[in-house]
Amino acid sequence: MSQNQSFIPVAEPSIGDKELIYVTDCLKSGWISSLGEYVRSFENQFAVYCETQYGVATFNGTVALHLLIATLNLGIGDEVIVPSLTFVATANAVRYTGATPVFVDSERQTWNIDPAAVAAAITPRTKAIIAVHLYGHPADMDALRAIADKYNLLLLEDAAEAHGARYKGRRVGSLGDAAIFSFYGNKIITTGEGGIIVTHNQAWAERAFFLENQGRYNDNPYFHPELAFNYRMTNIQAAIGLAQLERIDQLIEIRQRNAAHYNRRLAEVVGLTLPPAMAWAENVYWMYSVLIEDEFGLSRDEVRARLRAANIDTRPFFYPVHTLPMYHSGQSLPIAEDLAQRGINLPSASTLTPEQIERVCDTLIELQR
Ligand SMILES: *Cc1c(COP(=O)(O)O)cnc(C)c1O
């Protein structure tokens, strides 16, 4: 195992010439804040890409989620059901509004929110469910929709990790009542920092735009009838995003091809569980992830350390949010906790080469010798 081979990151953005051209055009135009053609084009085109009608772009994905929950008027006294195995922002955005995130366990098969656990967590205070499409694999939206309809709850998607993924042929982002995406630098497409709300609901889109824009109406811009936010995306961000969006199909295709390559090499390895791939899902593999089972013979952390010694970066799965200090209650969610302890994100960028994938797989397989 050679120490001096080049470093392979878990994630890195793919920035092309078009991004430079659009950003340069944006800067030269002088429209560098949140007014400008790129923001409106990006919102419209991303909404169309998601098979939705409206897009409201924001400064990052976390504020998109906060803005969405504020738009839906959820707050103190309301409960919002979230998976515990997710990035912390899913729960924080609920908490920012004064509403209470209620954590539920994951399904072993998909690593996503377990619909049966959702049904069991409903109380008279429950107002919404947030599905997260973890690492690029869609959650079981039909099962969640049935529960949401039965109990008259909002069904929201945190699709920050799953741009372009499909559930039974339909794009994520179009399946819930509204959805958010993130365009952070390591996401499937990026705007540096960035986010968006997409929805079919015109009134919500207008309300979200009003609230992210300091609570103003264009015909009377310094009269602010309500407490609101500045969560707007800049035209510079949107210029990057528009160029990325023009290449999104290609970026996803590369991730799927890379995942197939990993799957071919790793399928026979004892003690490795490969990423979920339900028949009804199209996974976009934001992160190509594996579980290190006991039969592998080394602990998850040992595997990570040995890969690191070979100059291969990995990440552990998220800590289940219910175990973090600000949410800790002694609650036990055994599947989320087990997945979190076994999971590794392997190098997953769309810049990854077949040679690099071979090196990661060779190194991983070598660990068992
Ligand atoms: C990345 C991410 C977000 C939002 O992230 P930002 O960095 O604020 O854009 C929200 N939820 C999940 C599940 C994420 O992975």
Set out the domains of the chain in order of their start, with CATH numbers: 17-245 (3.40.640.10), 248-368 (3.90.1150.10)
- Best probe residue, ligand 1, of 87, 130, 135, 289 (max atoms within 8 Å of C-beta): 87
Asked if residue 19 lies in contact with residue 191, where contact means CB atoms within 8 angstroms, the answer is: no
Q: What is the pLDDT of residue 339?
A: 98
Helix (H, G, I), strand (E, B) or coil at 342: helix
pTM score above 0.85: yes
Which are the contacts of 201, defined by CB distance < 8 A and separation ≥ 6?
54, 177, 178
**pLDDT above 80 (res 6):** yes
- Best probe residue, ligand 1, of 86, 134, 182, 284 (max atoms within 8 Å of C-beta): 182
Label residues 293-319 b or e (16+ Cβ within 10 Å = b).
Answer: eeebeeebeebbebbeebbbbbbebbe
Atom of ligand 1 nearest to the CA of 193: 9
Instruction: Give the separation between CA 239 and CA 52, rounded to whole angstroms.
Output: 21
Q: Which amino acid is at 235?
A: N
Q: What is the pLDDT of residue 3?
A: 52
Helix (H, G, I), strand (E, B) or coil at 146: helix
Confidence band of 277 (pLDDT split at 50, 70, 90): very high
- Asked if residue 132 has its Cβ within 6 Å of ligand 1, the reply is yes
Percent of the chain with pLDDT over 70: 99
Percent of the chain with pLDDT over 90: 97
**pLDDT above 90 (res 4):** no
Instruction: Give the separation between CA 90 and CA 207, rounded to whole angstroms.
Output: 21
- State pLDDT tens for residues 211-255: 999 999 888 999 999 999 999 999 999 999 999 999 999 999 999
- Asked if residue 258 has its Cβ within 6 Å of ligand 1, the reply is no
**pLDDT above 60 (res 107):** yes
Which are the contacts of 359, defined by CB distance < 8 A and separation ≥ 6?
5, 8, 310, 312
CA of 62 to the centre of ligand 1 (A): 6
* 2/90: higher pLDDT: 90
Q: What is the pLDDT of residue 64?
A: 98
CA of 285 to the centre of ligand 1 (A): 15
Mean pLDDT of 295-324: 98
Residue 271: what are its φ and ψ, rounded to 5°? 85, 10
Confidence band of 369 (pLDDT split at 50, 70, 90): confident
Would residue 215 be called left, alpha or beta, if left means φ above 0 and alpha means ψ between -120 and 50 degrees?
Answer: left
Least-confidence region, from 1-15, 81-95, 274-288: 1-15
Q: What is the pLDDT of residue 288?
A: 98
Q: What is the pLDDT of residue 264?
A: 98
- Asked if residue 93 has its Cβ within 6 Å of ligand 1, the reply is no
- Asked if residue 314 has its Cβ within 6 Å of ligand 1, the reply is no
Q: What is the pLDDT of residue 5?
A: 85
- Asked if residue 191 has its Cβ within 6 Å of ligand 1, the reply is no
Strands of the chain, DSSP E: 54-58, 79-83, 100-104, 126-132, 154-158, 166-167, 170-171, 178-182, 195-199, 272-273, 281-282, 289-292, 315-316, 343-345
- Asked if residue 157 has its Cβ within 6 Å of ligand 1, the reply is no
Mean pLDDT (the chain, rounded): 97
Mean pLDDT of 184-194: 98
- Best probe residue, ligand 1, of 158, 183, 318 (max atoms within 8 Å of C-beta): 158
Instruction: Give the separation between CA 186 and CA 321, rounded to whole angstroms.
Output: 21
